[in-house]
Amino acid sequence: MESGPAIFAGAAFALFGAGLLLWTGVRVRHRAPVAHGVSPSTAIALTTSAGVVCLALGAWCFGRL
């Protein structure tokens, strides 16, 4: 009964984290700005760390099953 919300949350975190990392990688590869008005190195570091944290949260949710 309690595994349904954990599966949903894990999938949401994992998809968002993977999408954010993919988007950041594509933007960096094309030398396009990741965030306007922010230095490129700061934007890359923050978006990459947010993507990794979301992936870790997704893995944690799946591990709680």
Q: Is the confidence at residue 1, as pLDDT, over 70?
A: no
Amino acid letter, residue 39: S
Amino acid letter, residue 31: R
Q: Is the confidence at residue 11, as pLDDT, over 70?
A: yes
> What's the structural domain count of the chain?
1
Q: Which domain holds residue 40?
A: 3-63
**Concatenated DSSP letters of 5-24:** HHHHHHHHHHHHHHHHHHHH
Give the model confidence (pLDDT) of 17-57 as tens digits: 999 999 999 999 999 999 999 999 999 999 999 999 999 99
* pTM score over 0.75: yes
